[in-house]
Amino acid sequence: MKKILFVIDSLNCGGAEKSLLSLLSHLDATKFEKHLWVLHRGGVLDKKVPEDVIIESSPTYSKAEYLKMRFGQMLFGIRRRYFNKRHRHNAELLWRSCGRFMKGLTQDFDVAVAYQQGVPTYLVSTKISAKKKLAWINVDIKMGGYNIEYNDHFYNKMRWIVCVSDKLESIVQSNMPQFVNRIRCVYDIVSPDLVRDLSMGEVPELKDKHPSRLVLVTVARMAPQKNYPLAIQTASLLRQRGVDFVWFFVGDGPLLHHIRGLINENQLSDCVHALGLRLNPYPYIKACDIYVQTSSFEGFGLTITEAKMLCKPIVSTCFEVVYNQLEDGVNSLITPMTPEGLADAICTLAADNDMRQRFSEALRNCVSDNAETEIRKAETIFLS
């Protein structure tokens, strides 16, 4: 039996987190002794970790070690505020400031997997003892603001670099051609039956909705790459065009209060609602007329997969990996990253019931449970 460790920053309600929990639940317990190190506990999905997974406690620090770490954190804050002229990613700045003081786990593992870019990758690369190390990449790291040259050192220590879509695999290969022979693809794992079961709940915000009112839903963390300001600009255009709609933003994140402020500034609070975190977002997707994705970039786009599983017509911006999941004009409308493009597509789809039904039927015919196939691929990588 292989002793395998997964390292992730937190278990908030994001795509990588949900995918990891699915992977852990499917991974063969007769082949792997599963360990998980969550760097920041307290996420909403902490209680969803499968019972056969051993949760590792973070290392303890002596008083002297703690003071050094505090110094590094202060240095990080100063660098981020005053000296980040090269616009480095926060994870890179944090590691430059605190990495030398951070401690890894004392155990030895057969396999160690960094399930996110940034600090989990840096820790696995330099602070974890394992016979084999792997790095999962679930965003376009260049678009995400990571410095490829700086990260090269860490990825060089990985036996395999795993991307969550073949489009992302191509992007990573083009940005890091020196690792092309180590790059593999394992799609994010999603269970259609689970998504459909969870979607049967109520949506209290729609209790008194007028039947003719168009319902739009976006489920994503309130983070820059999700491009919520574009959604707000689109909502303003829809209102100018006289569309009777309600748009729910479902998700928590660092920009939640900022987005709520923009909604109020644009006088959209009667039709655009930033709901924050919902432990179960699937009833909102099921209840919508159109699912809208406004991302600037993604590694895979797990919520699109979930909307597909519920056969909802989709409007999405044209981020590169979206074509891994959607076909423009066949099961969705893919638009330029402009308010006009999104508003045009939403209006077109809202006005054409036949198109919406055709897209839903196309999605019904293409959705399949990818868990078995992707688990087999993952296990082969872990064991090779």
Domain of residue 14, residue span: 2-59+104-190+370-383
Q: Is residue 109 part of a domain?
A: yes
188 — alpha (psi -120 to 50), left (phi > 0) or beta?
Answer: beta
The reply to whether 280 and 232 lie within a common domain is: yes
Residue 182 sits in the same domain as residue 246: no
Q: Say if residue 301 is in the same domain as residue 328.
A: yes
Tell me what pLDDT residue 107 has.
Answer: 95
Same domain, yes or no: 251 and 330: yes
Note whether 251 and 169 are same-domain residues: no
> Is the pTM for the entire model greater than 0.85?
no
Residues 6+ apart with CB under 8 A from 13: 43, 44, 45, 221, 251, 252, 277, 279, 281
Instruction: Kindly state whether residue 79 falls inside one of the protein's structural domains.
Output: no
Question: Bridge partners of 163?
Answer: 137, 185
Specify whether 321 is located in the same domain as 180. no
In a domain, 90, yes or no: no
- The answer on 148 and 178 residing in a single domain is yes
Q: Would you state the pLDDT for residue 367?
A: 64
Whole-Å CA distances, 97 to 25, 58, 282: 35, 19, 40
CATH of the domain at 11: 3.40.50.2000
Same domain, 183 and 241: no
Q: What pLDDT is recorded for position 81?
A: 86
| Token pair of 77 as six digits | 């804050």
Query: What confidence score (pLDDT) does residue 196 get?
Result: 87
Cα(339)–Cα(25) distance, rounded to whole angstroms?
40
- Answer yes or no: do 210 and 335 share one domain: yes
Give the mean pLDDT per block of 10 residues along the chain (384 residues). Answer: 96 84 92 97 86 96 95 92 81 94 96 97 98 94 88 96 91 94 91 82 81 92 94 98 96 93 96 91 95 92 91 95 92 97 97 96 78 90 93
> 97 in a domain, yes or no?
no
- CA 69 to each of CA 30, 74, 95, 168: distance values in angstroms, whole numbers, following the listed order: 39, 9, 11, 35
Listed residue (12, 13, 27, 179) closest to 113, CA to CA: 27
Model pLDDT, residue 369: 61
What b/e string do you get for 346-364 counting C-beta neighbours within 10 Å, with b at 16 or more? bbebbeeeeebeebbebbe
- Examine residue 333 and state whether it is found in any structural domain, yes or no: yes
- In this structure, the answer to whether residues 26 and 150 fall within a common structural domain is yes
Residue 93 lies in a domain: no
pLDDT score recorded for residue 383: 93
Closest CA to 311 of 332, 327, 328: 332
The structural domain count of the chain equals: 2
| Count of Cβ atoms closer than 10 Å to residue 245 Cβ | 18
Residue 294 lies in a domain: yes
Token pair listed for 182: 């180590």
CA–CA separation, 338 vs 308, rounded Å?
23
Give yes or no: residues 50 and 116 share one domain. yes
Secondary structure of residue 353 in the 3-state scheme: helix
Give me the pLDDT at residue 143, please: 82
Q: Do residue 6 and residue 138 come from a single domain?
A: yes
Q: Does some domain include residue 98?
A: no
